[in-house]
Amino acid sequence: MSSNKKESTSEPRVGVYICHCGGNISDHVDVEQVAENIRKIPGVVVSHTNTFMCSDPGQELIQEDIKSGKINRVVVASCAPSLHELTFRNAIKRADMNPYLYDHANIREQDSWVHHGDPATAKATTLVAAAVAKTKRLEPLDPIRVDARNHVIVIGGGMAGLRAALDLSSRGIAVSLIEKSPFLGGQAANLDKLVPTEASAGDLIKQLAQAAVEDPNIQISTCSQIVGFEGYVGNFKVTVQTHPPDADTRRQIIRGITSDKSQVGKMIPFVGYFPSAVPTSEQTRIIDTGVIVFATGFKTYTPRQGEFGFGDFPEVITLPMFIRHMAQAAANDKHLSFNGKKIRRVAMIHCVGSRQIPGIHEADENDYMNEYCSRTCCSATLRAAMEIRENFPKTQVLDFYRDIRTYGRGQEDYYDRASESNVLFFRYEPEDSPLVEKNSSGDFPLKISVKDTLTFGEEIEADVDLIILSVGMEPNPITGLVDMMKLPVGSDRFLQEVHPKLRPVELANTGILLAGTCQAPMDISETCNAAQAAAVKASALLGKGYVELDPFVAGVDLAACSGTGACVDVCPVDAVKLKPVKINGEEVERAEVNPAICTGCGVCVAECPHNAIDVKGWTLKQYEDMVDAIVAA
């Protein structure tokens, strides 16, 4: 604390460090000229450049200037702060200086990537000058420390949820796993064999589910959902409601085994692992937890009525429906059969419900389109095609694709094996998707036609007995949880991580993590990897028994506050409350900020009529000085 006091009272001596970014910046900004311009600003004592400021030599340059006593404030001008702000804070901290006496000027995304030549150099000088002005007014801050409960709630009992729960338990963390259905296994239970290992999906689910059920550190609640939420990282309070399944669930999903205790602890093919008898009455309880892991998974796309004939013709089915059929089909005939009919020729259509293009494809009832690639469909489709050809050699397979995307180790082999098995491939453009019609002649029920780009747009027609639609992934509908917890959602409706590389399993809501396909389409290997990453991150958060949070939160000047409550009304995270205090012997209400909940958004600052509230590290005075520096540049 003595060093903080010294840093606060000493005259600001600012060190500026400008990055070439390997040419990303210096190819368009005259970095040396910027450094020369900045040296003229009062209070700047050093102004250096480096090819890569984030490298070890770059960080050591900053540390040497701090340790020598040359500087007590730092400005780094480089790429976006979201990439390396933490890198430089840690470097400053290792040099025994308060890491919050630092500011970052983004001269790549905000300058060199959008400007060139003299304008880029001039703008870089302005951005750095503004950062210097702000830095002079910075005060030493301490991270906010909150106690953390050694417990995690995992929402979802699929592959991601099971994997995360087991990894957390192995690290000595208690886990409550909440699953809305009576079964564990999620969408993986709808698979037969896994790509590319050919392992049994049911066996893998059973292995993980049994391990979780038998783990005394994991409490599993099926037929349960979250109905209430409050708190902050380390100290969340979650209300869980458990309810008996409705009649349809009992009949259709549980397949008549709800009350059959002999099924407990068994894996039911294409349903899931049944861990316990289902509840017979509704129960509500509150769970105190430190971290929440979302493993809410995905659902397969349901084609709209008439899409490629789906719903119009019984011979048009989805790939998951076909996978289930194939798992039960006996390879004792040279022809595949479906619904008692011999299948002489089958057509498979890729990208149904994925890679949709506005103006070409039709949006759903909520005006959404799935513009992303679902990534796993191509390999699954090719595996099914190969299996048909190998088990039923008299059944022909026609494959209609936009692009073959068999990414991942060993998955291209499915394309090779399908080709070697005489699967016929036809490539189509989105605007010329295959047309499915009732066959008015011959003994085949359907006719499919398409312009084949492999033969330079030749019109291809084929009579078929069966059409299989390779449907993509959609995020499970969790609107209630999204609204309750104020979770960030991407344009694709999947939950949105902070950064795909630097913080890939973290939400902007501190203490809430992502695992698996609630975040994006993934195969099972990727899903388990993401779940393990979430478990590691949760362990890191809870391992010390407390959590340290950045101090960029709102603070109230009680002398200026009049208790209007305007800040309370606008706070999006309910971090501000009016609390009774005594001033001059009189009890009055004044604003109080819970720093563990506050996100530092600044909405309250703009709303306060008396300027009685400010965000630490981003005060109005600092903004004013930045604006003055920009005007003067």
What pLDDT, in 10s, does the model give residues 347-367? Answer: 999 999 999 999 999 999 889
Do 554-615 and 151-297+476-547 have the same topology in CATH? Answer: no
Q: How far apart are CA 375 and CA 137, in angstroms?
A: 49
Q: How far apart are CA 243 and CA 82, in angstroms?
A: 43
What pLDDT, in 10s, does the model give residues 134-190? Answer: 999 999 999 999 999 999 999 999 999 999 999 999 999 999 999 999 999 999 999
Residue 555: its pLDDT value, please? 95
Assess whether pLDDT exceeds 80 at residue 464: yes
Q: Does domain 151-297+476-547 have CATH number 3.30.465.10?
A: no
Beta-sheet strands, E only, within 439-509: 446-452, 458-464, 466-471, 473-475
Q: How far apart are CA 414 and CA 383, in angstroms?
A: 6
Residue 453: its pLDDT value, please? 97
Amino acid at 556: V
Beta-sheet strands, E only, within 91-200: 102-106, 144-147, 151-155, 174-178
Residue 268: its pLDDT value, please? 86
Q: What are the phi and psi torsion angles at 477 (to 5°)?
A: -70, 110
Counted residue by residue, the chain has a size of 633
Average pLDDT over residues 18-37: 97
**Planar angle of CA 578, 581, 583, nearest 5 degrees:** 130
Q: Is 586 helix (H, G, I), strand (E, B) or coil?
A: strand
554-556/174-178 β-pairing: unpaired
Residue 256: its pLDDT value, please? 45
Contact 544, 149 (CB under 8 A): no
Which of 587, 566, 565 lies closest to 578, judged by CA? 565
pTM check: above 0.85: yes
Q: Which residues pair with 223 in a beta bridge?
A: none
What pLDDT, in 10s, does the model give residues 113-143? Answer: 999 999 999 999 999 999 999 999 999 999 9
- Side-chain half-sphere of 3: how many Cα atoms within 13 Å? 15
Which of 173, 88, 293, 170 lies closest to 544, judged by CA? 173
613-615/554-556 β-pairing: antiparallel
Number of Cβ within 10 Å of residue 154's Cβ equals 33
Assess whether pLDDT exceeds 80 at residue 254: no
Amino acid at 182: P
Average pLDDT over residues 33-44: 96
Chain mean position to CA 133: 36
- Does the N-terminal peptide bond of residue 580 adopt cis geometry, omega within 30 degrees of 0? no
As a whole-number percent, the residues of the chain with pLDDT over 90 amount to 85
Tokens of 241: 């409601």
Q: How far apart are CA 433 and CA 360, in angstroms?
A: 10
What pLDDT, in 10s, does the model give residues 365-407? Answer: 889 999 999 999 999 999 999 999 999 999 999 999 999 999 8
User: What's the distance, Cα to Cα, between the start and end of the chain in Å?
Assistant: 36
Name the band, by pLDDT with cuts 50, 70 and 90, for residue 2. Answer: very low
Beta-sheet strands, E only, within 353-465: 396-401, 424-427, 435-438, 446-452, 458-464
Tokens of 554: 């709102």
Which residues, 6+ apart, have CB-to-CB distance to 366 below 8 Å? none
CA dihedral 221, 222, 223, 225 (to 10 degrees): 50
Burial class of 337 by CB neighbour count within 10 A (0 to 12, 13 to 18, 19+): middle
Q: How far apart are CA 323 and CA 383, in angstroms?
A: 10
What pLDDT, in 10s, does the model give residues 75-105? Answer: 999 999 988 999 999 999 999 999 999 999 9
Q: Is 362 helix (H, G, I), strand (E, B) or coil?
A: coil
Residue 259: its pLDDT value, please? 46
What pLDDT, in 10s, does the model give residues 542-579? Answer: 999 999 999 999 999 999 999 999 999 999 988 999 99
For 587-626, the DSSP string reads: EEEEEEE-TTT-----HHHHH-TT--EEETTB-HHHHHHH
Number of Cβ within 10 Å of residue 502's Cβ equals 14
Burial class of 147 by CB neighbour count within 10 A (0 to 12, 13 to 18, 19+): exposed
Which fold is adopted by the domain 2-142? Rossmann fold (3.40.50)
Q: How far apart are CA 58 and CA 20, in angstroms?
A: 11
Q: How far apart are CA 446 and CA 442, in angstroms?
A: 10
Q: What is the CATH number of domain 307-473?
A: 3.50.50.60
Q: What are the phi and psi torsion angles at 541 (to 5°)?
A: -65, -40
Specify the residue for token string 């057509």. Answer: 347
Q: How far apart are CA 97 and CA 224, in angstroms?
A: 49
Mean pLDDT of the chain: 93
Burial class of 354 by CB neighbour count within 10 A (0 to 12, 13 to 18, 19+): buried
Assess whether pLDDT exceeds 50 at residue 1: no
Residue 247: its pLDDT value, please? 73
What pLDDT, in 10s, does the model give residues 309-319? Answer: 999 999 999 99
Domain boundaries, the chain: 2-142, 151-297+476-547, 307-473, 554-615
Q: What is the CATH number of domain 554-615?
A: 3.30.70.20
Q: How far apart are CA 74 and CA 511, in angstroms?
A: 29
